[in-house]
Every structure is written in structure tokens, then in C-alpha cells.
């Protein structure tokens, strides 16, 4: 078991192991997305207040969860890269940033589309929406900083420090709806006590959440493989790989 993790840390073995996982992850993710969407869009009952409009939450809520989750993964991987100078952690951190930014963007857009008919406005500057927008800028900042520095190891360290500093925003986003008066409603699922959502709506939501997690894992492995190849382009195993194909 320990040997497996040790191997996973070396770029060559990571490239091979990740390559073997990708088709399985893609299949599992595809099945779950289709099942979750069918359950959410067709099977789940309509809402007593919002009618069918609430169904956008099957995309919006998992996206928002992922935007926070990926940020924590990115900052943790960045910290591991900084402390232990582990190359693969740097690669994972930097490969996560564009995926997290996409999920943040998706959460903001779907929320906006839902907000227009339900709240009566596309956008308000309340604490939840504003802190989520800052999260998008943090992701973009990490990506910009990484690409602005030529030496990739120095760049990864600078980006990791920015990511770690930005972690302070994560609890602010999560608790914004409880600490301050916001237009955005409070938590439904991640609160103490029973979730205030019908079970037939909760299950597709959780299925979609798992599907989005798998999607992230799939894409981060694909991106990390490319990043590893680029960084190790002078290593012998990469040259052998290219010659063989």
C-alpha cells in the first residue's frame, strides 16, 4: 500500500496509473450524470413554490459545492508542494485551478439564470454572491500568476502561496448566509438536523454531486498527465514513450 503511494508520487508511474484509471472514471461519471439528470429533470416532483424552475439546482448546487471543494484541494496540494517540494502535488494544484474556475463560473451563471425569475434580479451584491465572485477571481489569479512566471517550479510556488492565502474566503462563502442578512437562502442539505428537502429531490442532487466529483477527478488526472509530460519532456521515460508511439 505504502509502495503504491510512493510510486504514485513519481511522475512516470503517475502517468501510467492515471492513464489506466481514466476510462473507468469516464464511464462511471457518464452513467451517474445521465442517471442523475434523468432523476432530477424527469422523475423528481415539481416544487410547491417554484414549479419546475427549481430543477436548475441539480446543476447549480453541485457546481457551487465543487467550486469550494476544488479550491481546498488546490490549496492543500499547493501547501504539500511548498513544504515537501513534491512535484506531483504542484502539478495537481495547478491542474485543478481551471476546473475550479469553470465550476465557479457555472455556479454563478446558473444562479443568475434562476435569480431573474425567482428573485426578480440577475445579480445582487449580497455576501454570498460577492464572496463567490471573489472565489472566481482567486482562481483566475492563481492561473494568471502561474502562467506569468517562466520557470514552472517557481511559478507553482508563487501560485500555491496565493491559493493558500485565498483559503480564508472558503468559510466566508459557506457561512455568509448565516452570518449576514443575504438574499441568497440558507443551507438546505449541509445544516444540522434533517435536510429541508423532499427525499425524491435530495437523491438526484446527491447523485449529481458524486458525478461532479468523479468528473473533477477525471479531468484533473487528464490535465495532470499533460502537465507531467510537459515538465518531464527531457526525461528518458518520456522520450521512450514518444518513440514507442
Partner 1 sequence: MRAARKKRLYLILLIVAGVGVAAALALNAFNQNLMFFYSPSEVSSGKAPPGHAFRLGGLVTEGSVKRLSNGLTTRFEVTDMDKTVSIEYTGILPDLFREGQGIVAHGKLRGDGVFVADEVLAKHDEKYMPPEVAAALKDSHDKGVAAGAKEAGL
Distance of alpha carbon 167 from the chain centroid = 14
**Short-list 105, 66, 58, CA closest to 215:** 66
Q: What are phi and psi of 168, to 5 degrees?
A: -60, -25
* 3-state SS, residue 158: helix
**Residue 82 touches partner 1, criterion: CB under 8 A:** yes
Q: Which is nearer to partner 1, 208 or 238 (CB)?
A: 208
Q: How far is CA 240 from CA 223, 224, 225, 229, in A?
A: 21, 19, 16, 12
Q: Which is nearer to partner 1, 104 or 169 (CB)?
A: 169
State the residue for C-alpha cell 511522475: 11
Q: Binder to partner 1 among 28, 124, 155, 210 (CB under 8 A)?
A: 124
CA pseudo-torsion sign 241, 220, 139, 5: negative
**Residue 188 touches partner 1, criterion: CB under 8 A:** yes
* Residue span 26-55 as binding mask against partner 1, x where in contact by CB under 8 A, dash where not: -------------------xxxxxx--xx-
Minimum CB separation from partner 1 for residue 104, in Å? 19
Minimum CB separation from partner 1 for residue 44, in Å? 8
Tell me the number of residues near partner 1 by CB under 8 A: 43
State the residue for C-alpha cell 438526484: 204
**Residue 120 touches partner 1, criterion: CB under 8 A:** yes
* Residue span 218-237 as binding mask against partner 1, x where in contact by CB under 8 A, dash where not: --------------------
Distance of alpha carbon 222 from the chain centroid = 14
Minimum CB separation from partner 1 for residue 216, in Å? 23
**Residue 182 touches partner 1, criterion: CB under 8 A:** yes
Minimum CB separation from partner 1 for residue 67, in Å? 19
Give CA–CA dist 173/58, Å, rounded.
19
Q: Binder to partner 1 among 8, 27, 83, 144 (CB under 8 A)?
A: 83
* Residue span 9-28 as binding mask against partner 1, x where in contact by CB under 8 A, dash where not: --------------------
State the residue for C-alpha cell 506569468: 148
Query: Residue 197: left (phi > 0), alpha (psi -120 to 50), or beta?
Result: beta
**Residue 118 touches partner 1, criterion: CB under 8 A:** yes
Q: Which stretch binds partner 1 (CB under 8 A): 13-21, 113-121, 143-151, 210-218?
A: 113-121
Cell numbers linked to 69: 471543494
Alpha carbon dihedral 156, 162, 163, 164, in 10-degree steps, equals 110
Give the interface with partner 1 as residue ranges (CB under 8 A).
45-50, 53-54, 57, 79, 82-84, 117-121, 124-127, 161, 164-165, 167-168, 172, 179-183, 185-188, 191, 196-198, 200-201
Amino acid at each position: 500500500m505504502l509502495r503504491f503511494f510512493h510510486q504514485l508520487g513519481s511522475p512516470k508511474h503517475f502517468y501510467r496509473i492515471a492513464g489506466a484509471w481514466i476510462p473507468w472514471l469516464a464511464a462511471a461519471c457518464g452513467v451517474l450524470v445521465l442517471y442523475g439528470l434523468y432523476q432530477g429533470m424527469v422523475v423528481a416532483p415539481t416544487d410547491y413554490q417554484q414549479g419546475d424552475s427549481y430543477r436548475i439546482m441539480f446543476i447549480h448546487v453541485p457546481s457551487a459545492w465543487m467550486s469550494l471543494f476544488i479550491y481546498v484541494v488546490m490549496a492543500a496540494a499547493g501547501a504539500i508542494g511548498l513544504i515537501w517540494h513534491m512535484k506531483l502535488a504542484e502539478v495537481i494544484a495547478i491542474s485543478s485551478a481551471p476546473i475550479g474556475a469553470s465550476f465557479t463560473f457555472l455556479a454563478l451563471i446558473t444562479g443568475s439564470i434562476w435569480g431573474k425569475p425567482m428573485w426578480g434580479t440577475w445579480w445582487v451584491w449580497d455576501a454570498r454572491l460577492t464572496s463567490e465572485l471573489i472565489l472566481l477571481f482567486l482562481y483566475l489569479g492563481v492561473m494568471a500568476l502561474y502562467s506569468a512566471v517562466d520557470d514552472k517550479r517557481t511559478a507553482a510556488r508563487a501560485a500555491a502561496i496565493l491559493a493558500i492565502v485565498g483559503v480564508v474566503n472558503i468559510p466566508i462563502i459557506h457561512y455568509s448566509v448565516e452570518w449576514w442578512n443575504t438574499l441568497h437562502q440558507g443551507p438546505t442539505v449541509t445544516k444540522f438536523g434533517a435536510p429541508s428537502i423532499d427525499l425524491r429531490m435530495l437523491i438526484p442532487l446527491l447523485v449529481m454531486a458524486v458525478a461532479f466529483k468523479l468528473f473533477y477527478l477525471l479531468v484533473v488526472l487528464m490535465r495532470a498527465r499533460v502537465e507531467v509530460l510537459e515538465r518531464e519532456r527531457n526525461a528518458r521515460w518520456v522520450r521512450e514513450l514518444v518513440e514507442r508511439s
